[in-house]
Amino acid sequence: MFSDPKQMQAMMRKLGISTENLDATEVLIKCRDRTLRVKSPEVVKMKVQGQEMYQVSGRTEILTGEAATTAEAEAPASFSDEDIEIVMSQTGASREGAVKALTECDGAPAEAIVHLLSKKK
């Protein structure tokens, strides 16, 4: 239908669909009986009529038992995009810097902002 990716993007915007490629290094999907790990994934976040959807592609490894527990313990904490954006906008930090500050401050955006601003002085 569309041979030009720019045409496709324009049509998607007209339909109210926005996409964002995420720079993910690993994705863990926890099931009742196993954990799926996708290393070096391609992750696309799509927003359609206020709903967020994620498309993940890459090689999947199935983890069970102790390997799954270890992978979950090693996985970095995830924070809401809103918290990350707030820290970035208030401090001028990069996304990685904001996530690092949130990690160091147990996910508290206000503390992360103060932490980053105190480093700038």
Instruction: Report d(CA 5, CA 26) in Å as an integer.
Output: 27
User: pLDDT tens digits, residue range 24-66?
Assistant: 889 998 888 888 888 889 999 998 888 899 999 999 888 776 5
Q: Which residue has the higher pLDDT, 67 or 16?
A: 16
- Please measure the distance between the N-terminal and C-terminal CA atoms of the chain and give it in whole angstroms: 55
The predicted-structure confidence for 59-117, as pLDDT tens digits, reads as follows 988 877 655 555 555 555 677 888 888 999 999 988 888 888 888 888 888 999 998 98
CA angle 74–76–79, rounded 5-degree value? 155
Domains defined along the chain, listed by start:
1-74 (2.20.70.30), 76-121 (1.10.8.10)
0.85 surpassed by pTM: no
CA distance 61 to 33: 14
Q: What confidence score (pLDDT) does residue 66 get?
A: 59
Residue written as tokens 């890459």?
58
Helix axes 109-120, 81-91, angle to 10 degrees: 30
Percent of the chain with pLDDT over 70: 86
